Amino acid sequence: MASSRSLTAESPLSGFSHTYAHTQLSEISNLVMLSVAVPRGGLEALNTELSAHFELSFPATGHSVINDKSPLDSSLSSVTLLGLQMDQCLLIADQKTNDNASHSLVAKINSALNTVAYLSDQSDNYAVLDIQGPSMVMAMERICSLNLSELDTNTVSRTLVEHLQVIVQKQSHDQVRLFSPRSSANSFLHAVTTSLENVTFDNAVPDTALPTNNPR
């Protein structure tokens, strides 16, 4: 007798979402991610296919390029290329819905680019968090060495958050997207939540509310 049981994919952080004062921290789990490496002398051919399928070109190191549409697949809400080094980027396809269609999307991207690039599916390798709100910069600067207030929008950096390797994409003046290896997802979440808890508590307590040692 066939079993009626089915397997359901679980995201690295189980859909974590929480608001700290006016700053939102959320796991992003509906992403397809592929590492894209340029063959020797193959950048022009790769750019031709990136333009045809995503209306994008290969990004400079430390920068990202984004398009909110793609001729390749109508299920995409955006496609982003993160420039990680001179001949490598991370392609991120953001699906409109989390409907377990990632395998077919990976196959489509492979079919579109596999003759002009070396591709590796990274979709299950990262835990991804978005931080958006007024406490983002202060929280991040407590746990990493980046001066986020001075970085331009769409900047991409590899850095350490506490002792963990993280890719940081600055999406706006008060929003970043963080990518960290799935194997250390819980430690990654703990570092970020602890920093947000600390900065939002510090900002919420006025000096007059702090206890003093002055005698009455």
Q: How does DSSP assign 31-97, residue by residue?
A: EEEEEEEPPTT-HHHHHHHHHHHHS--PPPTTBEEEES--TT-TTEEEEEEEEEETTEEEEEEEESS
pTM: 0.87
Contact assessment for residue 37 and residue 22, using Cβ atoms and an 8 Å cutoff: no
pLDDT of 205 reads: 44
Residues of the chain falling short of pLDDT 70: 1-4, 6-8, 96-101, 202-216
Residue 15: phi and psi, rounded to 5, are: 75, 30
Under DSSP, the state recorded for 182 is G
Q: Which distant-in-sequence residues (6+ apart) come within 8 Å of 56 by Cβ?
A: 50, 65, 66, 67, 79, 81
Rounded to whole angstroms, the Cα distance separating 111 from 58 reads 18
Residue 1: count of CB within 10 angstroms of its CB: 3
pLDDT of 211 reads: 42
pLDDT of 38 reads: 97
Q: What is the assigned CATH class of domain 17-203?
A: alpha beta
pLDDT of 95 reads: 82
pLDDT of 88 reads: 97
CA distance from start to end of the chain: 80
